[in-house]
Every structure is written in structure tokens, then in C-alpha cells.
Structure 1
Amino acid sequence: MGTLFRSEPMTLCQLFIQTDSVFNCVSELGELGLVQFTDLNPGVSAFQRKFVGEIRRCDDVERKLRYIEKEICSERIAIPENEYEGELPQARDMTDLEALVSNLESELREVNQNNVLLQRSYVELTEIKHVLKNVDTFFEHVSPTQFRHLAYDGPQDQRTHEHEMEVVRRMSEDGRRDRAASELHVEVGFVAGVILTEKFSSFERMLWRVSRGTVFIRRVFIDTPIEDPNTGDPQMKSVFVVFFQGEQLHARIKKICDAFHARRYAVSSSQQERRDMTINVLTRLEDLQTVRNKAQEHRVRVLANAAKEFRGWLVKAHKLKAVYHVLNLFNVDITHKCLIAEAWCPEANLEEIQRALKRGTDASESHIPCIMNRLDTTEAPPTYNRTNKFTRGFQGIVDAYGVSSYQEVNPAPYTIITFPFLFAVMFGDAGHGAIMFLFALFLVLREKSLQKVKGAGEIWDTFFHGRYIILLMGLFSIYTGLIYNDVFSKSINIFGSSWKAPEISFKNATEKDQPIQLDPVKHYTGTPYPFGLDPVWFMALNKIPFTNSYKMKVAIILGVAQMLFGVVLNLWNHMHFKDQTPFPPPTSRAERFLRQYLKIWTEFIPEMLFMLALFGYLVALIIYKWTLVGGSPDGSIPCSRSLLIHFINMFLFTYTKEPCYQDLLYAGQKPVQMTLLLLALISVPWLLMAKPLFLLYLNNKHRQTSSGDPSSDLAPLAVTVEENPQDIAGEQAAETSPGAPGTLEESTTNSSATGAILEPEPEPQSEGHDHSTSHKGKFEFGEEFIHQIIHTIEYCLGAISNTASYLRLWALSLAHSQLSEVLWEMVMRIALGMSTNWIGAIALFVIFSAWAVLTVGILLVMEGLSAFLHALRLHWVEFMNKFFKGEGYLFEPFSFREVVSAIDEQL
């Protein structure tokens, strides 16, 4: 059984499932979500697999569903967001769903086509109505006169309005058009229609050029936009009337109208006929509008009913497709009566998987049970860390750097505490932390309703998914802010300061505006401030040197403690994986012990010695100095030793008493430091040489044993030592996995059983080979030695650079506090110093708003992001490199919940 501190033990299982029950069994496993199938057909393309036809049918159903969704959204009909009910798909559902969706799509397409035809007729009638109305307007404002001239000098010719009216009036009178034409010996006609307003200018110029200026054009804008029947977009159009003479010019005008997609409508020259036509058009428009309303109501009703079931259809289609994709990973038995699958399963859930297979078999009414066979393999299993909504975010922080190797120590449980704490050390303001905490608390309390918010943007999704991380970051920031006694850059005095200034000196100093020097012997009460920094330090002139020294030392202590903890976690890895040497079994207890704990005595012990001898000693000096330096009873000023100078002198073997800050801290300091330095020096070659030399000894020993025994089948060792625990993960999974319930005999004799787990039988091996034959390659001392050189250099130099890297805790804390103080002094203090009248009240409101916006934008968002990234760096590099390989791959089980989650993100 796995724990939060280590990934789940996994096992590779082989499944034999009957063809008639395979769909239901896979559906049950998808509902369970604890099985990761492997591809048994890696050389077969996606188009040559067994169930490619069914997948194409699912794709076709999804295409039709997308069309239905587009139609639903076009009517602004909401698709209900029902909770996941876990309905399992059946193989027969494919045909039913396909028929249902196809019928609905056909109905919608027919309705849409009819709507387009109705809309096209409605648009034509509307345009005819506007044409008739405007043609009547042309002819109503004229009086009879002789037609004298028909010439058009182009679009830019500004002829008088009187002349235009004369040209039209003559042609508008009933019974007089023939007389005018006979007088001029020409036949005058006109073409009326509708064109897009944006095309009219080009249309007019083309007519002028083709007619050589012998046409007369009038235009009127249509005030209301007309909907395009094909796209539904509103379009602005204009009514035009073109007067011409001659049939040849008439034919040219019609061609130009067609080229510009201008609709021409036949309009009679008789006023009475136009009136009758107008009445007919208005009647048809009214009837057509009634039909359109009925058709639209029917369409909305169909889409509303479809919207209620749409999510269920989409989920079912995706589930069916997911099942068929999984079935394509299976192999077909030579008898074609069953399918063979291989899958990774958590050992703790084998019984649940068996029960799921039984449910699938029962649902298909099959009498042949599914058989589960546990396979022995050297393939590295996937990494499966169980998480919940609280731990998922912290596990994501670790997985963003690298997935832990199989059964490797999982840093996520420790990151839950260390990550927000180190962030808070850099953030360190109780006021800002309270705002952050309240924001995250709101997200946590309203998480169910906020989960349904979609389209809010990537930034919002990041905040929401990391709400528990932000919650702890704010909570720890409140704690560290109280330790620093920093609330919006101001200190709070709850318990009363432990420093007391004489009243006379205080009065004189305030009158003369002079600082007061407080003597620790005389003015300190002897009892420290109960919690956090004494508020008197925030009024002191040496505030920054004091807080810098304090935060710098705290950063070193926290950094060394976290790195030592990382080395201890590596010990846990060593004790779990134990003997990774690929040699034959040990011949003595001593050899067994040394091989079993090889990495402990060759790596862990020298690493701890090196770290403790140098940086552990530095931490001890810091703590000792805090207890040592204080006021002297005789009133003399104590000499504060410089730890930096002492630490440098430790490596230079320099010990002097002048000046006083180089004086020894304690008696016997010189031999203690020389001993510690000697231990650190010894640990380096120990870490470098011990492991390669011991492996070389084992290699030579077993070579001699093999060559000295002619009856032995032991071949000369040709293996390599793998440092990665993944290389033996398969063996350990088989060795440490508990026996699974059920046997093959039980499944064949008991017809009610639907699943059996076959325990893997160890393959017979020739004497002396043992498990070493599973490793490949030759043992090369040079390669092993080079590998150990790299590891030693990385660790020793990294111990120094990583310790210095933790000083960012102090640097960012200083930057945050100074920015907060500057913002208060430059903005908020101005408002508080203004007068108390109504002008000051308004100014206070405005300035406070500006201060609040700057506080949130700069100190919470920007500084918070900076501290977050630095905390990530400290965990990924300084902490996790002490024990974390991160060479695994995630356990990605086949799960219907993932399918449904993907659908919810799309809808």
C-alpha cells in the first residue's frame, strides 16, 4: 500500500477478456479509472487497427453534435451543466445515438433550409416594397413637360434640380410617354432595383462609362438594414432607378446589375398597377412573416429540447470513442474469441479491478470469466501519487519540475509546509498576508460555484487552481509578518516594549530633536518581547543593520536545515531500494550488509559529514552568538565577533585576538574547527572513491570465483551499475507485491468468479546468474569513477552555492519591507497629515484608494509573484537535488472522469 510520501506500488497485469464482454469490461474499468493500458500494437498504424471503423462513426457523430451545438448557441440557448452521473455506455448505444443525432441533424438542416428560403422571399418582398415606394416618390413630385434632353455628364456633373425633374416628369405621366418619345423619336425606359450601398458608387461609375453619359440615375437610401438570407448579417442597401433609351443600352444595364449583384424588379409605369402591386406585396409580407414566426418557434423548440439532452449525447459519444481507442490497444487471440490486454494497475486496487471486470462480464451476460495475470517485467512502472483537491496543487509544483521515479520519495508532502513558509519568509508582512489569505479563503469557500465560471481567462484559472497554495501562503505570511512585527510597513506594540528610555532624556531628546542611545544594561528590562521583534527597533536609527543581520542569519539557518533534510530523505531512498548491485548473491554476512547499505556508507555518511562539519557548524555559531552577545554587568560595551571572519579564518588556520571581533568565541575553538575541517576534507575522497572501489572489488571477486570453478556456469560479469531506481523497479514491484486474491484454478472451477490473478512464476536461471542477467552492458570502472567524480563535485560545490542561494530569503524580505515603507511614506502619510475638514476627507479617500491599488498591484501581485518564483527555485534546485531524480512518468489511467472534464471545459 502506497502512502503520501511514496508513490503507489504498481504491477503489470495481463487481461484475457472475451470478445462479447470486452466492451462492457473496458467501460467498467474506465468508470473505475485505475488502469493504464499499454499499446500491444505499436507497429500498427491508426488506420489499420481493428476498431477504426467504430472510431470514424464516433467522429461523424461528434461532427454532427458540433453542428447541433452551433445551432443551439446561435439561438442563445443555454446547455444545462448537469453533474456527472457515471452512466456507462453500451456497445448498442452507438447505433441508437447515431440514428438519433442523424435524424436531429437532418431535421435542423431542413428547417434551416426552409428558413433560408422564407428569409429570401421576405427580403425580396421587402426590397420590392421599398422600390415601389421610392418609384412612386420619383413620379409624384413632377409635372408634365416636354422631354428636351437626355444626357448624363458623369457622376460628378452637378446639373440643376429643375432639369432633372423635367426629364423625369415627362416619362411619368400616363399616356404622355409615347408622345414624348415620338417627339424625340426615341423610346425611353427605366430599370429599378436594389443594391448594396457600399457598391453604389462603383455601380454608378460603371453605368456612366458604358452608356457614355446617356443614362439618368436616381438613388434613395433604405433606412433599416436588411438581413442577408444566407449569412444573417444586416446589410445597408439603396433603391436605384436608371432611365435609359434603347434596347442595346437596356441589355448592358442588366448585365452591369448582375455583375454588381444588384437585384432588378419589374415595376409598371402605371400608377394604378403600382398601387395594386404594393397592396399585394404588403399582404404577402404579412402572411410570410406569420409563417416565418411559426417556423422560428418550431426551430427554437427543437433546439431547446436538444439542449436538454445535448451534454448527455456528447458525453456518451466521447465515452464510446474513448472505449474504442482503448480496444485498439489490445491484441486479438489467435482463436479470435478473446482480446488480450496489458495494463499497469495499483496493487492496492486489484480487488476493485476484479470486481469491475465481474460487473462488465455480468452486464454482457457472458459465462466465461475474465482472467488477470500479473506479469514480471523489468520495465519501469509509472508513478502514481494519490492526491485530493488540497494536495493536488502542491503535487503539481513538484511534477512541473519532474515526475518522481517509481517508488522514489515524494517531495510534495513536505512542500505543503516548506513552500508557503519560505514564501512567507520573503513576503513577511502580516497585513499583505491577511489580504492574500482572505482572497484565497473566498475562493475556497465558493469553490463549487466558481468552478462553473468559464471564459474568465488563464490568470483566473491559475489563481483558482492554486487557491489552497495561496491560502497557506497568506497564512504563513501573517505568521512571519508578526515575527517581523511588520503590518503594512508599520510595527504594532501589543505587549509593551522591553526597552525603557529615561523620561528626562526622552523629553530633552524630543525637544532638541536628537536621538537617544539606549544602553542594554540600563535600559533593557531583561525580558524579551513575547512574540516577534520589539517595536522599538522600528524607531531605531540602526533598524536596517539589525534586521538585515537577523534575517540573513535566519536565511542561513533555514537553508542549511532544509538541505540537511533533503539529504535525510535521500537516506530514506537508500533504505528502500537497498542493494542495487547487479552481482551474484553475497557470500558472507559482511558482504551482504555492505551491499545492502552501499549508498548509505558510501554516499549518505560522507555527505552528512561534509554538510554538518561546515555549514552545520556555521548554524551552531549563529545560535551560540545569539546567546553570547549581550550587555555587560560592569557597563562595558561588549565586542561582537564577526562570524564571517571566523568562518574564513577556519579555512585559513588564522587565529588572532586583535581586533576584538576576531577573538575566539569559546574555549577550544581552534581544535574543534580543525577537527571539523579535517572531517570535511576526509568526506570528499570518501564520497569520491568508496563506491567505485567497492564495486571494482566485487567485480574482481566474482570474476575470480567464476573462473576458479570449472563446474560453474557463471559467466564473466558484463553488467553496469544503474543509479536510477527505475532500473530495478520492475523487479522490486514483483518481489514486494503482495499475493493477489484468486488463482487460475479457482476461476476455472467456480463459474461465479469472473476474474483470476495469476502469480508470475520465476523463470529458471542458470546457477550464478541470479537477477544480474536482467541488466545490460559491461561494468566499466572508468565510467563508474567518472560518474562519482561528477556527483562529488556537484554535491560539494552545490553545498556552498546552495547555502549562498538561500540568502535570497533575506534579500527579498528586505526589498518587500522597503517597498512597503516607501509606499506608506510617499502616499499614505501625506493623506494622514492633511487637515481634518471636508477637503482633507475627500483627499484621504482619494489617496487611500491610490495607496490600496498600488499595494495590491505592486506589493501583493508583483512582489508576491517574485517571492513565489524564488520559492520554486529553492525547492526545485537547492532542496530537491539532494534526493530527487525525477526521471519517472505519470500514471495516466483510462478514466471517464477525464473525458467528462474535457467536455466541461469545452462547453
Structure 2
Amino acid sequence: MCVPCPRSMEDGTVLEKLEGELQEATQNQQTLKQNFLELTELKHLLKKTQDFFETETNLPDDFFNEDTSGLLELRSTPAAVAAKLGFTAGVIKRERMVPFERLLWRACRGNIYLRYTEMDTALEDPITKEQMKKNVFIIFYQGEQLNQKIKKICDGFRATVYTCPESAAERREMADGVNARIEDLNAVITQTESHRLRLLREAAVNVWTWGIKVKKIKAIYHILNCCNIDVTQQCVIAEIWFPMADSGRIKRALQQGMERSGSTISPILTAVQSKMAPPTFNRTNKFTAGFQNIVDAYGVGSYREMNPAPYTIITFPFLFAVMFGDCGHGAVMLGFALWMVTNEKTLLAQKSNNEIWNTFFGGRYLILLMGIFSIYTGFIYNDCFSKSFNIFGSSWHTRPMFRNNTWNPHVLEENQVLQLDPAVPGVYSGNPYPFGIDPIWNIASNKLTFLNSYKMKMSVVMGITQMVFGVTLSLFNHIYFKKTINIVLQFIPEMIFILCLFGYLVFMVIFKWCHFDVHVSQKAPSILIHFINMFLFNYNDPTNGPLYPHQEEVQSFLVIFALIAVPWMLLFKPFILRANHRKAQRMLQTPAISENPAGDIEVEIIDSNHAKKAGQEDHSGGHGGHDDHDEEFNFGDTFVHQAIHTIEYCLGCISNTASYLRLWALSLAHAQLSEVLWTMVMNIGLKNSGWGGLIGVFIIFAIFAVLTVAILLVMEGLSAFLHALRLHWVEFQNKFYVGTGYKFSPFCFKSIIDGTAED
């Protein structure tokens, strides 16, 4: 978005003229509507008063005689000639009528005569536009004292009092005049409303543009107020962060701004050192933005800290697909993502306010990769809507058995459970299925037992591999920030601990897969029992033989080495940090060394391509690093923090490994739900034959499709997504990612206008 010229807002006279005309039109309209309201009330009052006098047939025509004081003289009898009887007529809101009548009765001690009636139509308030229901009242009294009390009470209840003639002829003449004035007011009000609408339409054409200009110029002046004034009062000094990769663009923009503004002072861009921790800027595009948002939701990384987002692009959809592996469901998800990607320009132009839709659309490329990986793992599991593909032909067959008359067609038809023994020649070809799981397992009765073992061990292998990769990434943080003490006293013992115990567990799983075939599989020992006995140093279990020769020596060495790594992490680092601090304090106390104060900061730069070492914090995951030797060193706090880190890491390796078993659990749950849905719904329609079965298939398939999308795609997909999110945040990122930085928020008109700019 372009920057508005300050002169573009100098047409304030146009705005002031338009504002004045609009205010005048609005004020005239309110005045006219107030007059219309009063005339309407007077019209109803004259009508209701006339009805009252007509109903009182026992009163003679000369009952009232009005004098100059507004009082009426009673002429009925000679004794009443000296008496004066007056009346007051007006309009009051209906909800105030009851307390109004009660107060009149008490204040006047019953020496009045009150009559009131409801108005037929509601009236509109000229200011609030609210509908008001009112009553017309008339009060008869005698004496000036009562007259003054009635006026005060009417003023207190905001009742409108009107002058009403006492003779019928005068009331009719006054009513005719009121009706004529109402008609004239209607015409004037219509013209005033038309003029006001024209003014509003004229302003509506430019109001959006004016709003954009105001927001832009307000943002510019806000930034200018953050700048410092030079001592010469001729220029300003801005302290900013910006990526080094954009330095050329920024210099060109400053030069262009100088030329357009007609300034004679060239802009000066100077890099200075700062002890402030710079913000973190990760350049993204529409593909990587969704993955970076996942990482930023956990925490924004510190400046130059290892960013997990590039690795998340692959690992996140893959772990999701391990739990969601199904070719059919993955294809549906892929189709939905491709529709959003191919129509993204049209969908972006619509600017929907639906938060759920915006979440799905913002992660369209993430959903695309999740669909692709789900299809891949679906082929690995050989699972498509709970059915298997027989692409390469099964490696199990029974043809030689027919020759020996062991299994004949009669046996195959009568028996629903037959066992295929892989150790019998001819039953199993000896070659595994070329890709994925053999389709014969889809009809095997022990399918669940086989998949349980396979997926559980697969989850452990993938989980430990990702955790080791996370610990390895922490090494790059230590190297970049030159934390040699963290490499020796933290990274190395962490790798020793996790590799000696859990890396060895992966070795045993893979070794058992490769070493034991179908002929000796019955004698294969239990890996879990071996792993437990490894910690107990128990190698005399007669029910569980060794995996390989010299297993006792290897496992004892690994356990002892892993136990040594625990005090290695716990004890050495706090004492070395204390020794370094004391050494630095002794060096500061020598008079030969002095420090100069740092200068003022003019421009602070984010270097997105080169290293910036000043003012960095300890990103190792530990809490014992102290770069400022002037600060007081607290050995107790440092030791406690290191102990917390050691305990958290050691226990976390165990709990995190167990947490990766959710890959196995959710994969089996998804497969079983898919199989149940096929068996209980779709299989019903396929069993029927004839025209009725054909029609039933359409109905059953519609139900099957709705349940598949609602349960297996939406609910199961959301569940797998959340579990994959947890595995990355807790099990993977905590090995190397601290995430205690703050995000770089550049000055951007688009985010300011959209309201998404951060403070």
C-alpha cells in the first residue's frame, strides 16, 4: 500500500463544509420532527378534549367563562359567581400516568378533577427514534394556588401542557389549523430528509478512502513520535530493527523519500551495537506460513535460535499420517486441499469472517501434505476404507497343499478359520510383499495381533529417532552461541543417556526383526523383558534367552555409562559456572582494567544472514548461564535449576518414549473405526441383490459417506492433528527449542488497516 501525501488531507475545508451542512440538516430535521410531534400531540389533545366535553352532556354551554388569567368563572348559580374554575390539558408518557395521578391527588388533597385517556397511535421521539406511548389528560381545579402546584407537578413529570379553548367552535377551528400545519410540516420534513440523504451519499463515496488515509497518517505520526530529534533540530533519529537482507531496499526507499519530499539532507543508515535481544524474524511464504504458525503458537524463538519449522514441514504431516494412514481417507483430504489451493485467489477475495473456515484455509498446504502422507502410509498399511489392495499378488498360497489333499475345496468351504504356517514349504513363498503389508492379513483372524506388534515397535523406533534428532539440533544452538560448557556438560551426557538406553532399545527391535525368521521365531526372546532385566542386571532368566553373544557385558556397560551421565549433567556445570564467576570478579577488581561506557543507540539491525553475538541469552535449555559478571551469582539457584533440568530430561526420555505410543494407539483406533463403519453400514447394502439392492446401495452409500466425513475425516483427523501437535511441542521441541523471544513486527499498512498489527 502506498503512503498518503500529507497534502492529501489538507482539503479539510471540504470536510468542514460537508460536516456543517450535515449538522445543519440534522438539526433542522430534529426541530421539524419536534414541531411535528407537538402538533400531533395537540391534535390528539383537541380531539380527546372534544370527546370529553361531548360526553359530559349534563353541563350547560355557558358552564365555563374564561378570564384573562386563564381561569374559568362558574356562572351556574349566584353563589358561584365569585368562584373561579380553571382547567389544564396536556400529554404525558403512559408509564408516568399512575404516579402522576397519585401525586396530584396527594399534593392537591383531592381538590381536583382529573380525566385522562390513551392515545391511539404511538409517537416517535425525534432524537432517540424510539416509539412512545402517551396519554391525554385534563385537570379541573379552583384557585391560583392549585394552578401553581399543578404546573410544578407537570414540569416534574415532563408532561407537555397545551392551551386548549373552552368552546367547541374554537377547538374545531384550532384543530383545522393544526391539521393544515401538520401537512405543511410533512412536506418540509420530506424535503429535509432528501437533502440529508444526498449529503450522506456524497460523504459515503469518500468515507472509506478518508478512513484509510486517517489510519495511515495516524500510524506515520505515531512512528515519528517514537523518533528522537537531532540537536540541530533539522532531522530525526530513528532506532529500528530491520533484516539485513532488506538493507538495500530500505536505503533505496529512504533515498526515494528524500527526493519526493524535496529534502536536501541525505538519510544516514548506521549500524550500532546493542545489548538488547533483537526480535526474531522468520521469512515465510504462503506454503511455509502455516508450519511457522504452529511453531510460533508454542513460543517465538529467540534471535538466531534454531527454528523447528523447516523440520516440521516433513515430520508433522508424516506423524499425522502414521495415525491417520488410509488411502481412501487421505485421497478425500487431498482432494479438499487441492480445491482450496487451486481456488485460493477466489477464496481470498471473498474475505470470509468464519473463524473455522479461515483456520482450514490458512492451513491448506498443511492439509495438502497430510493428505499426501496419509495416502503413502495407507499403502504401507495396505488399508483403503478398511479394505486391502492386492497389487503384486500375495506371497501366501496353498497350491502344493491341494496336491497332498490336505486342503481341498470342501475343507476351504467348511472351515472359516484356517492357519497358514509360514514355516511349511509351499504355503509361504519366502519373499515379502514388495511394498507394505501383504493383503492376506486383511482376512486373517490374528490380524490385530500382528498389527499391534508391528505398529507398537514402529512407534517406538520413530519416536526415539525424532527425540535423538531434537537433542542433536541443540548442538547447533550451543555452537552458534559459543556455549562450550553446554556442549561438554549438557549435550554430550544427554546423548550418552538417551543412546545408551533408548537407542539400544531401537537396536534390539531392529536386530530381532533381522535375526529371527519364521523357523526360529518361536524361540525369539521378549525385548521388553530384556529391557527390564537390563536395569536390574538380571541375566539368569531361563524363560528369556539372550539375543546375541556377550549381551550381558554390552548391556552392563551401557547402563553404567548412562548412570554416569546423570551426575555429569547435574554436578559439574554449577561448580564450573561458580568458578568462572569468581575468576571474572577477581579480574574486575584489578585496577589495570577499566571499561568505557557504551554509546547511545541509533540504529539496531536484525541480521538475518550473518551472526550477531551481542546481548544474547543462554539458549541451551539450561538456566545456569551468566554472561554479565557484574550480576550477583547465586549458586543455590543455579544448582536447583540444573537439577530440575537433569530430572526433567531423564524422566522425559522415559515419558516421551511412552508418549509416542499414541502413534500406535490412534492408528489402530482409526483402522478399527473404518472397519466397523464398513461392516455395519456399507456391507449391508452390498449383501442385497436385485433392483431393491441397487436402490439400497445408493441410500446406504450416502449414509456411509456422511459418517465417513463426519467421524473418520473430521473427528479422527482433528484428533490425529492434536496428537501430532503435542508430539512436536512436548516431545520434540523441548529438546532444543526454548521459544522465549519476541516476534519481529514490521511497520505495515496492510496489517494496520486490517487490525492485525501487534503492539
TM-score normalised by L of structure 2: 0.78
Aligned counterpart in structure 1 of residue 31 of structure 2, from 112, 117, 120: 117
Q: Which moved more, 1:539-548 or 1:197-206?
A: 197-206
- Say which of 407, 419, 430 aligns to 1:517: 419
Q: Distance in 1 between matches of 2:756 and 2:26?
A: 27
The answer to whether 1:611 aligns with 2:518 is no
SS at match of 1:217: strand
Q: Report the Cα distance in structure 2 between the residues aligned to 1:856 and 1:878, rounded to whole angstroms.
A: 30
The amino acid of 1:648's aligned partner reads I
**Match in the other structure for 1:128:** 42
For 2:387, the equivalent position in structure 1 comes to 491
Counterpart CA distance in 2 for 1:477 and 1:294 is 68
Check conservation: 1:378, 1:731, Cα contact below 8 A.
no
CA–CA distance in 2 between the matches of 1:215 and 1:485?
97
Which residue is 2:472 aligned to? 568
Q: Which residue in 2 is equivalent to 1:314? A: 211
Once residues 728 and 756 of structure 2 are traced to their aligned partners in structure 1, the CA distance between those partners, rounded to angstroms, is: 35
Q: Which residue of 2 aligns with 1:286?
A: 183
Q: CA deviation at 1:546?
A: 2.7
Structure 2 Cα separation of the partners of residues 180 and 257 of structure 1: 25
C-alpha contact 1:222 1:239 (8 A) present in aligned 2: no
Question: Could you tell me which amino acid in structure 2 is paired with residue 217 of structure 1?
Answer: R
Give me the whole-angstrom Cα distance separating, in 2, the residues matched to 1:450 and 1:412.
26
The alignment status of 1:325 with 2:222, answered yes or no, reads: yes
Residues 1:814 and 1:637: Cα distance change in structure 2 (over 3 Å): closer
Aligned partner of 2:460 among 556, 564, 589: 556
How far did 1:792 drift?
Answer: 4.5
Note the 1:721-732 alignment, pairs <5 A: none
1:544 to 443, 448, 464: 448
Question: What is the percent sequence identity of the aligned residues?
Answer: 49
After TM superposition, give the deviation of residue 357 of structure 1 in Å. 1.6
1:556 to partner: Cα distance: 0.9
Once the two structures are TM-superposed, the CA of residue 609 in structure 1 deviates from its matched residue by 3.8
CA distance in 2, matches of 1:492, 1:773: 60
- What CA deviation, in whole Å up to 9, does each residue of 1:72-110 have, x standing for no partner? xxxxxxxxxxxxx413343x556x265554444443333
Can you list the C-alpha shifts for 1:484-535, whole angstroms capped at 9, x where unaligned?
Answer: 44555x32445365555799678667657x5333333464455545554445
Cα shift at 1:411: 0.8
Residue number in structure 2 paired with 1:641: 525
Structure 2 residue 739 is the aligned partner of structure 1 residue 886: yes
Aligned to 2:600: none
Q: Give the structure 1 partner of residue 269 of structure 2.
A: 372
Separation in structure 2 between the aligned mates of residue 289 and residue 895 of structure 1, nearest angstrom: 51
Distance 2:195 2:130 in 1: 22
Give the drift of 1:338.
2.9
Q: Which is worse superposed, 518-527 or 775-784?
A: 775-784
Q: Is 1:807 the counterpart of 2:654 in the alignment?
A: no
Q: Does the Cα contact within 8 Å between 2:682 and 2:701 map onto a contact in 1?
A: yes
Query: Is 2:584–2:629's contact at 8 Å kept on the other side of the alignment?
Result: no
Q: 1:264 to 1:433 in 2, by over 3 A?
A: farther
- Deviations, residues 13-56 of structure 1 (Å, cap 9, x unaligned): xxxxxxxxxxxxxxxxxxxxxxxxxxxxxxxxxxxxxxxxxxxx
The 2-side partners of 1:129 and 1:829 are apart by: 80
Q: Is 1:354 the counterpart of 2:251 in the alignment?
A: yes
Which deviates further from its counterpart, 549-558 or 885-894?
Answer: 885-894
Secondary structure, aligned partner of 2:746: coil
Provide the C-alpha distance between the structure 1 equivalents of 2:552 and 2:577, rounded to a whole number of angstroms. 38
Is residue 2:136 matched to residue 1:240? yes
Give the drift of 1:560.
Answer: 1.3
Does 2:649 align with 1:795?
A: yes
Which digits, 9 at most, give the CA deviation of each residue in 1:222-266, with x for residues without a partner? 24x43211111233x244343645456666555554444343444
**Structure 1 residue 602 displacement after superposition:** 5.3
CA contact (8 A) 1:404 1:888 kept: yes
Q: Which residue of 1 is the match for residue 621 of structure 2?
A: none
Whether the 8 Å CA contact 1:569–1:883 is kept in 2: the answer is yes
Give the 3-state SS of the residue equivalent to 2:287 in structure 1: coil
The CA deviation string for residues 386-417 of structure 1, in whole angstroms up to 9 with x for no partner, is 11233223222222222222222211111122
Residue 87 of structure 1 aligns with which residue?
A: 3
Q: Which residue pairs with 2:68 in the alignment?
A: none
CA-CA distance at 1:451 after TM superposition = 4.7
Which AA in structure 1 matches 2:454?
Y
**Which letter maps to 1:222?**
D
Q: Which moved more, 1:527-536 or 1:780-789?
A: 780-789
Q: Distance in 2 between matches of 1:881 and 1:737?
A: 24
AA aligned to 2:29 is N
Deviation at 1:216, TM superposition (A): 5.5
Say how many residue pairs are matched: 716
Instruction: Assess, with a 3 A threshold, how the Cα gap between structure 1 residues 817 and 204 changes in structure 2: closer, same or farther.
Output: farther
Q: What is the Cα deviation at residue 779 of structure 1?
A: 8.6
One-letter amino acid of the structure 1 residue matched with residue 39 of structure 2: L
Partner of 2:57: 169
Cα distance per residue 1:614-651 (max 9 Å; x no partner)? 3223223323333445533xxx9734432211222333
Q: String of CA shifts for 1:671-702, please: whole Å, max 9, x gaps.
A: 54445445545555665678789889999999
**Alpha-carbon offset, residue 418 of structure 1:** 1.5
Cα 1:699–1:136 change in 2 (3 A) is: closer
Distance 1:811 1:188, change over 3 A: farther
Rounded Cα–Cα distance in structure 2 between residues aligned with 1:315 and 1:500 = 75
- Which structure 2 residues correspond to residues 39-50 of structure 1 after superposition, within 5 A? none
* Corresponding position of 1:182: 76
What residue is the counterpart of 2:511 in the other structure?
624
User: 1:527/1:256 Cα in 2 relative to 1: closer, same or farther (>3 Å)?
Assistant: farther
How far did 1:856 drift? 5.5
Q: Using a 3 Å threshold, how does the CA distance of structure 1 residues 302 and 438 change in structure 2: closer, same or farther?
A: farther
Distance 1:622 1:853 in 2: 41
Any conservation in 2 of the 1:828–1:848 contact (CA below 8 Å)? no
For residues 102 and 569 of structure 2, the distance between their equivalents in structure 1, rounded to whole angstroms, comes to 92
Aligned match of 2:318 in 421, 426, 431? 421
Instruction: For 1:814-833, list aligned pairs within 5 A.
Output: 814-819=668-673
1:107 maps to which residue?
21
Instruction: Call closer, same or farther: CA 1:233–1:736 in 2, change over 3 Å.
Output: same
Distance 1:106 1:137 in 2: 46
User: Per-residue deviation at 1:308?
Assistant: 2.7
CA separation of 1:776 and 1:251: change in aligned 2, threshold 3 A: closer
Partner residue, 1:870: 723
Q: CA RMSD in A?
A: 4.8
In the TM superposition, 1:355-754 aligns within 5 A as 355-434=252-331, 436-448=333-345, 450-451=347-348, 456=353, 458-487=355-384, 490-493=386-389, 495=391, 498-499=395-396, 514-520=416-422, 521=424, 523-524=427-428, 526=430, 528-529=432-433, 531-577=435-481, 579-580=482-483, 600=487, 603-632=490-519, 638-655=522-539, 658-659=542-543, 662-667=544-549, 669-677=551-559, 679-681=561-563, 683-684=565-566
Identify which of structures 1 and 2 has the higher relative contact order when contacts are C-alpha pairs closer than 8 Å and 6+ apart: 1
2:620 match:
none
CA distance in 2: counterparts of 1:538 and 1:208, whole angstroms: 94
CA distance in 2: counterparts of 1:119 and 1:696, whole angstroms: 84
Q: For the Cα contact (< 8 Å) 1:195–1:262, is it kept in 2?
A: yes
Cα deviation per residue 1:110-168 (whole Å; 9 max; x = unaligned)? Answer: 322222112212222333344445555666xx6xxxxxxxxxxxxxxxxxxxxxx5xx2
TM-score, scaled relative to structure 1 = 0.67
Change (3 A) 1:247 1:716: closer
Q: 1:491 is aligned with what amino acid?
A: K
Q: Distance in 2 between matches of 1:188 and 1:303?
A: 54
Q: Which runs of 5+ in 1 are unaligned?
A: 1-84, 143-164, 581-594, 718-729, 739-759, 761-771
User: Is there any run of 5+ residues in structure 2 with no aligned partner, and where?
Assistant: 66-72, 596-603, 615-625
